[in-house]
Structure 1
Amino acid sequence: MSGREFFTTRTVVQALAGFRPARRTTLEEVPLDDALHRVPAADVAAAAPLPGFAKSTVDGFAVRAADTYGASEGLPSYLDLVGAVRMGVPPSVAVRPGGAVAMPTGGVLPDGADAVVMVEHTAETMPGTIEVTRPVAPLDGVVRADEDVAAGAPLVPGGRPLRAPDLGLLAAAGVTTVIVRARPRVAIVSTGDEVVPPSTGQLRPGQVRDATASALAGLVRDAGGEPTIAGIVPDDAGALETTLRKALQDSDLVVVSAGSSVGTRDETAGAVAALGEIWCHGLSIKPGKPTLLAECRSDSGDGIPLIGLPGNPLSALVVFRVIGVPLVWRLAGCSVPPPEPSVPACLTRDLPSAAGRLDVVQVSVRDGAATPIFGPSALLSVLTRADGCIVVPEPATGLPAGSQVQVMLYR
């Protein structure tokens, strides 16, 4: 392998579609209070219909819809008020032809009734009699017993992170625990003789504090993973292989920060090749071309995906957001990673690009205008000043000023 050339270079589209390790995290049962954003391993089915009884959606009167046909303000229908429904208890009265029962919102629909007329369309002209000034059709103002969820139907789908409304529906069905995929364990290995811990007080010339690992850990947590900072490894092939071999034993994903650029000091590709198969070394993306994707083997024989990131912090974080975050979700059993929040905006200046390469450009967004933020890929401040990023697609040769773009927002 030449130390001066990229090999097996892929586009981002190819990487997202083709680099799909089979590994998935193990199953565990968690209480509902801890299930937000966790990924159910399979559909969770309803044991019984919801809400379980027909109920009113409005304050009004339970009636037989046929008794209101033709009603109008000029010619109302007159119905006998035969009782009222109380919340939380079954009705003690039924609706007979020509009768009506007072209903609160959420009350159980009494026998004989098939609709609820809103109180705004009624008037009590005399004690025990109401007049209806607007007709209702069957099931108006009513939720059926299985209208929310039928018995045996999925409450929530497998393979999709649980959202707050999902937890509410599960609680309504009496589900208090959920079987989900465990959070992916992501080991973050930093490399380089020049890299020192963030706690280092006084830097010597040429030294840099390890900023990338902390930022990567934040992205891993955002994607539902559990990051582990595995330390800093010098530019030594043997030391790196030893560290990677150890990280593979108790991780679902290993991320190597720095060391993947092609050069005489590049040790990552050689160490990874000794542990598994390199799927690509080089992505058609800017920033972030010197990216390595591989599948390695732990001592137990399990296939563990590995991402080798560029050394520059901005490049590393851009690539991990594009490639790594979807992979973390996939390891957790998520079939389609949740989309990033985005807003439309108008581009304020021309953006040149090269066909066949995906460009990720940082932007600030103000009053619907997206302004590119440029700077060397070694500067993290480019990211901290950005509200989000835009993507120039691989087939494009650039975007002219005034283009309508979609900005992926940073949370």
Structure 2
Amino acid sequence: MSGREFFTTRTVAEALAGFRPAHRTAIESVPLPAALHRVPAAEVPSPHSLPGFTRSTVDGFAVRAADTYGASDGLPSYLDLLGAVDMGAAPTVSVRPGGCVAMPTGGSLPEGADAVVMVEYTAETVPGTIEVTRPVAPGAGIVRADDDVATGAPLVPAGRPLRAPDLGLLAAAGVVSVPVHARPRVVIISTGDEVVPPETASLTAGQVRDATASALAGLVLDAAGEPVVAGIVSDEPGALKDKLTAVLPEADLVVVSAGSSVGARDETMGAVAALGDVWCHGLAIKPGKPTLLAECGGIPVIGLPGNPLSALVVFGQVGIPVLWRLSGCETPPARPTTRARLSRDLASAAGRLDVVQVQVRDGVAEPLFGPSALLSVHTRADGYVIIPEPATGLDDGLDVDVTLYA
């Protein structure tokens, strides 16, 4: 291989479909309050039915539905008030023909009743007698004991990050801990003699503070991973290989920031090839072509471009799906989108996926341009527009999907 060529260039679609490391994080049990966004390792079955008893969904009166047939404003049905159901307690009264029982929302349906008529369609015209002005069918105003979840049915599926309603359903079933995949431990390595720590107070000519590692750590946290910023490695031959050898045993994913292009000093390709198998060196994406995907001892390694904007774009498109897969989630959670009208033509090249940063104002998507070394292009954006690989561009005025940043 010439030092001025990419090793194996792939499309982003090929990378998403083909770069699928088998490694998965370990399984651990976490308490329910800590389970949000974690990925269950297996289905969690319900230990019993939910809600567990037949209950009212409205305030009103438990009745035999047949006793309300034909009721209307002009010809109401009259039912004897037999008692009331208290919240949180089993009924102490049953419904007999021609009778009814007062019901709160959520109360347990008394024996003999098969429906609840809403209080809005009733009136107590005479003490102890309820006037019903609307008929109800059997099952109206109630949920059955297993209408929510049957005994043994899955409360939550495996492989999908837990959402807030999932935690509520688990709590309702009395499940207080969940077996989940551990958060992927993502080791972030920065490279380059010109890169210095962010806390460096004064820069000399040619030096740059390490901005990419902090931004990547934020993306990892956003995808429920555990970032480990492992510091800066010099361009000295062999230094990156030594660093990789040291961090791989403790990592679920290694991300190398900079050093993956084809310049003479870029060490990532050689270091990774010495330790594992390179799946591709070069992605058909703009920005971000000099990207490396590999596995070393079963651990995925992603080599990112040195320019911050390129690095973050590539990690968002390829790294985040890999990160979710490591935690047992094959389909990453969808990001929010909005429709907007493109304010100008966007050119592209067939076979390359372009990620264009945009601002959205009053339904119009305004592209933001600038060198990929400028991180401010990313920070000013509300989201991005994808020009898909088969396209040669997008026309001014076209309605496009904008993927929004949180």
Structure 1 and Structure 2 fold alike (TM over 0.5): yes
Matched pairs, number: 406
Q: 3-state SS of the aligned residue for 2:309?
A: helix
* Partner of residue 190, structure 1: 190
Of 304, 308, 319, which residue of structure 2 is paired with 1:309?
304
CA deviations 1:346-396 (Å, max 9, x no partner) are: 111110111110000000011111100000000000011111111001111
Question: CA offset at residue 288 of structure 1?
Answer: 0.2
Give the secondary-structure state (helix, strand or coil) at the position aligned to 1:165: helix
What is the one-letter code of the residue matched to 2:263?
Answer: G
Q: 1:38: which partner in 2?
A: 38
Unaligned runs of 5+ in 1: 298-302
Q: Which residue in the other structure is 1:149 paired with?
A: 149
Contact between 1:186 and 1:225, CA under 8 Å: does it hold in 2? yes
1:289-308 equivalent positions in 2, closer than 5 A: 289-297=289-297, 303-308=298-303
Could you tell me how far 1:84 is from its partner in structure 2?
0.6
CA RMSD of aligned residues (A): 0.7
List structure 1 segments (4+ residues) > 4 angstroms apart after TM superposition: none
Select the residue among 388, 392, 395 that pairs with 1:393: 388
The answer to whether the Cα contact below 8 Å between 1:237 and 1:270 also exists between their aligned partners in 2 is no
Could you tell me which residue of structure 2 aligns to residue 282 of structure 1?
A: 282
How far apart are the structure 1 equivalents of 2:71 and 2:244? 79
- In the aligned structure 2, how far is the partner of 1:398 from the partner of 1:148? 48
Distance, in Å, in 1 between the alignment partners of 2:8 and 2:19 is: 13
User: For the residues of structure 2 that align with 1:85 and 1:224, how far apart are their CA atoms?
Assistant: 46
SS of alignment partner, residue 278 of structure 2:
strand
2-structure distance, mates of 1:125, 1:311: 80
Normalised to the residue count of structure 1, the TM-score between the two structures is 0.98
Query: 2:50 and 2:2 mapped to 1: Cα distance?
Result: 64
Partners of 1:385 and 1:130 in 2: CA distance? 64
What is the CA distance between 1:7 and its match in structure 2? Answer: 2.2
In the alignment, the residues of structure 2 paired with residue 230 and residue 119 of structure 1 have an alpha-carbon distance, to the nearest angstrom, of: 65
Partner of 1:379: 374
Map 1:103-122 to 2 at 5 A.
Answer: 103-122=103-122
What is the rounded CA distance, in whole Å, between the counterparts of 2:62 and 2:294 in structure 1? Answer: 65
What letter corresponds to residue 38 of structure 2 in structure 1? R
Query: What pairs with 1:2-401 in structure 2 (closer than 5 Å)?
Result: 2-297=2-297, 303-401=298-396
Partner AA of 1:381 in structure 2: S
Which amino acid counterpart does residue 349 of structure 2 have in structure 1?
A: A
| Alpha-carbon separation, structure 2, partners of 1:21 and 1:182 | 16
Whether contact under 8 Å (1:3, 1:266) holds in the other structure is no
Whichever residue aligns with residue 327 of structure 1, its letter is V
Cα offset for 1:210?
0.7
Residue identity over aligned pairs, in percent, reads 75
SS in 1 for 2:245: helix
Q: CA contact under 8 A between 1:237 and 1:271: conserved in structure 2?
A: no
Runs of at least 5 residues in structure 2 that lack an aligned partner in the other structure: none
DSSP 3-state at the match of 2:300: strand
Query: What secondary structure, in the 3-state scheme, does the structure 2 residue paired with 1:284 have?
Result: strand
Q: Give the CA deviation at 1:110.
A: 0.3
In 2, Cα distance between equivalents of 1:380 and 1:335: 30
SS in structure 2 of the partner of residue 198 of structure 1: coil
In 1, Cα distance between equivalents of 2:2 and 2:137: 78
Are the counterparts in 2 of residues 390 and 405 from structure 1 also a CA contact under 8 Å?
yes
Does structure 2 retain, via aligned residues, the 8 Å contact 1:237–1:268?
Answer: no
What SS does the aligned partner of 2:283 have?
coil
Give the structure 2 partner of residue 300 of structure 1: none
Output the CA distance in 2 between the equivalents of 1:344 and 1:58.
Answer: 39
Secondary structure of the residue that 1:261 maps to in structure 2? coil
In 1, Cα distance between the equivalents of 2:240 and 2:93?
Answer: 78
Q: C-alpha deviations, 1:187-235, integer Å up to 9, x for none?
A: 0011111111111122111111111001000000000111111111111
Are the counterparts in 2 of residues 272 and 294 from structure 1 also a CA contact under 8 Å?
yes
